[in-house]
């Protein structure tokens, strides 16, 4: 399947000499600080490339200043990239003129913001319908569509409220509804839940998982919170100083960190919640009894603990009828004990 979003060698450099920086191989090679000291330019995004598959939930994770917010703004050209290539559904976004760009924004993709970006002078239903209004959709039709997405995000009954009458979580539901109203193919989330309380954040994460399942849209989700990334992401891209450090699924990041930076990051993650059996299984030894129960290689360790510990023989890890390896008490305990 062709990727929905394809990004190649994307650069965003701030400063008057931005264009020079991306043209020079020497300057491209410098670290962020060296570059700033030499040219005064700040490279927020440095040669980033990745693909997002249709219907995938793709998470970009990094600490503040890692360039992740700039990256997502480059994808929608809210920030104009300095160099590189962005293809969304086969169309080169950077080649689009202002008119085409507006069409893309109106129909193909939309964004949810960290601080919601709602219009304080409009009611919920008018906020949700804003995107349709600027496309020239008639009022009755607008109201009907807005009502649908308001119901979809669980805001039924709040149509006539103003944003400042709602809690943070509900305001972000309005932001979500607004992004969904135009029925875009791709949704971008810029740290949408970092301004919310932990409990509400958990609700909203579940809400996004539910919506992702129900509407099946491709989503790019920016966060600085590793547990949020692991919870939501089909795949996760870790950014540092504007560069990609590693791209992979949650268990790949925890099981095979690309470098010390990622290793340090995932150190406190409860491994049993993330790792699957394929990461801890071993080749069967001659003395292993091979008539024990079977589990798939993508079974999460936490869910396998009971079966493995209660069986008196090692559990076989089997995929498509092929024996990949075995897991016994010692492997399970190694993971669980390692967390303590």
Partner 1 sequence: MAAVALHRGTPRKTVIVAGIVAAWLLLWLLFRNLATLPLDASALTPLHRWVNDLNDAIGASRNTNPLFLYFFNEIRLVIDELVTFIQALIAQSGFGRPVPVIGWLGVVALAGYVSLAIAGWRQALLAVAGFTFLGLQGLWAESMDTLSLTLAAVLISLLFGIPLGIWAGLNDRVNRIITPALDFMQTMPTFVYLAPLTLFFLIGPASATIATLIYAAPPAIRITAHAIRSVPHETVEASESLGATTKQTLTKVLLPSARGTIVLGINQTIMAALSMVTIAALIDAPGLGKTVVKALQTLDVGTAFNAGLAIVVLAIVLDRVTTAAAARRATASRPVLIGGGVATLVAIYFSYTYLWAAEFPSEAEIGSSIRRGTTAATEWVQDNLPVITGGFKDFTTTVFINPLQALLSESPWWLVAAVVVALSFVIGGVRSAVTSAVCLGLLVATGLWQDSMITLAATLVATVLVMVLGVVFGVWMGRSRRADRIIRPVLDAGQVMPAFVYLVPFLALFAASRFTAIIAAVVFAAPVAIKIIADGVHNVSPTTVEAATALGSSGWQTITKVQLPMARRALTLAANQGLIYVLSMVVVGGLVGAGALGYDVVAGFSQGQLYGKGLAAGVAIVVLGVMLDRLTQAAAKRWDQQEVRSGKA
Under a CB-based contact definition with an 8 Å cutoff, are residues 56 and 5 in contact?
Answer: no
Tell me: does residue 119 bind partner 1 (CB under 8 A). yes
Tell me: does residue 135 bind partner 1 (CB under 8 A). yes
Contacts of 205 (CB under 8 A, 6+ apart): 193, 228, 231, 232
- CB nearer to partner 1: give 62 or 131: 131
Tell me: does residue 81 bind partner 1 (CB under 8 A). no
Continuous segment of H or E residues that includes residue 253: helix 250-255
Per-residue x/- track, 22-61, partner 1 (CB under 8 A): ----------------------------------------
Whole-angstrom distance, CA of residue 35 vs CA of residue 32: 5
**Residue position matching structure tokens 């290689």:** 297
- How many CB atoms lie under 10 A from the CB of residue 303? 13
Tell me: does residue 120 bind partner 1 (CB under 8 A). yes
- CB nearer to partner 1: give 127 or 246: 127
Per-residue x/- track, 187-216, partner 1 (CB under 8 A): -x----------------------------
Tell me: does residue 314 bind partner 1 (CB under 8 A). no
Residue from the set 27, 86, 111, 244 that interacts with partner 1 by CB under 8 A: 111
Residues 153-192 that bind partner 1 (CB under 8 A): 162, 175, 178, 182, 188
Q: What are the structure tokens assigned to 143, written together?
A: 């109201």
Residue from the set 118, 155, 220, 335 that interacts with partner 1 by CB under 8 A: 118
Residue from the set 105, 142, 212, 271 that interacts with partner 1 by CB under 8 A: 105
Tell me: does residue 142 bind partner 1 (CB under 8 A). no
- CB nearer to partner 1: give 10 or 22: 10
Contacts of 199 (CB under 8 A, 6+ apart): none
Q: CA torsion angle for 304, 310, 314, 320 (degrees, to 10)?
A: -40
Tell me: does residue 329 bind partner 1 (CB under 8 A). no
Residue from the set 106, 147, 224, 282 that interacts with partner 1 by CB under 8 A: 106
- CB nearer to partner 1: give 120 or 198: 120
Residue from the set 32, 73, 235, 271 that interacts with partner 1 by CB under 8 A: 73
Cβ contacts of 268-273, under 8 Å, gap ≥ 24: 269/226, 269/227, 269/230, 270/339, 271/301, 271/335, 271/338, 271/339, 272/300, 272/301, 272/302, 272/305, 272/335, 272/336, 272/339, 273/230, 273/300, 273/301, 273/302
Tell me: does residue 223 bind partner 1 (CB under 8 A). no
Under a CB-based contact definition with an 8 Å cutoff, are residues 166 and 199 in contact?
Answer: no
Whole-angstrom distance, CA of residue 46 vs CA of residue 32: 9
Continuous segment of H or E residues that includes residue 33: helix 32-39
Q: How far is the CB of 206 from partner 1 (least distance, A)?
A: 24
Which one of 52-60, 104-112, 153-161, 245-253 is the stretch in contact with partner 1 (CB under 8 A)? 104-112
Q: How far is the CB of 15 from partner 1 (least distance, A)?
A: 16
Tell me: does residue 94 bind partner 1 (CB under 8 A). no
Rg (CA), the chain: 23
| 63 SS3 class | coil
Which one of 98-106, 165-173, 305-313, 329-337 is the stretch in contact with partner 1 (CB under 8 A)? 98-106
Buried b or exposed e, range 70-79, using 16+ CB within 10 angstroms? bbbbbbbbeb
- CB nearer to partner 1: give 121 or 213: 121
Q: Which residues bind partner 1 (CB under 8 A)?
A: 73, 76, 78, 101-107, 110-111, 113-122, 130-131, 133-135, 162, 175, 178, 182, 188
């Amino acid at each position: 399947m062709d990727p929905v979003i394809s990004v190649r060698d994307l650069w965003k450099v701030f400063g008057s000499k931005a264009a020079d920086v991306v043209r020079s191989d020497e300057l491209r090679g410098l670290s962020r600080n060296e570059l700033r000291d030499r040219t005064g330019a700040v490279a927020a995004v440095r040669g980033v490339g990745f693909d997002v598959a249709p219907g995938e939930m793709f998470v970009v994770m990094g600490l503040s200043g890692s360039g992740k917010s700039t990256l997502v703004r480059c994808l929608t050209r809210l920030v104009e990239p300095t160099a590189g290539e962005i293809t969304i559904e086969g169309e080169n976004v950077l080649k689009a003129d202002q008119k085409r760009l507006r069409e893309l924004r109106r129909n193909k993709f939309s964004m949810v913001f960290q601080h919601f970006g709602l219009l304080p002078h409009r009611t919920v239903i008018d906020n949700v319908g804003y995107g349709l209004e600027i496309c020239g959709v008639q009022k009755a039709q607008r109201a009907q569509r807005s009502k649908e997405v308001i119901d979809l995000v669980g805001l039924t009954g709040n149509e006539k409220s103003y944003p400042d009458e709602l809690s943070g979580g509900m305001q972000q539901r309005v932001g979500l509804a607004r992004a969904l109203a135009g029925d875009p193919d791709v949704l971008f989330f810029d740290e949408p839940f970092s301004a919310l309380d932990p409990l509400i954040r958990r609700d909203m994460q579940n809400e996004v998982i539910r919506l992702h399942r129900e509407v099946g849209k491709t989503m790019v989700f920016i966060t600085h919170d590793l547990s949020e990334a692991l919870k939501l992401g089909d795949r996760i891209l870790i950014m540092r100083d504007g560069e990609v450090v590693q791209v992979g699924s949650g268990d790949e990041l925890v099981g095979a960190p690309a470098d010390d930076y990622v290793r340090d990051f995932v150190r406190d993650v409860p491994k049993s919640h993330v790792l699957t059996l394929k990461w801890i299984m071993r080749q069967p030894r001659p003395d292993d009894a091979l008539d024990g129960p079977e589990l798939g290689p993508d079974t999460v360790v936490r869910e396998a603990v009971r079966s493995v510990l209660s069986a008196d023989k090692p559990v076989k890890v089997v995929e498509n009828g092929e024996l990949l390896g075995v897991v016994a008490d010692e492997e399970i305990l190694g993971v669980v004990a390692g967390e303590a």
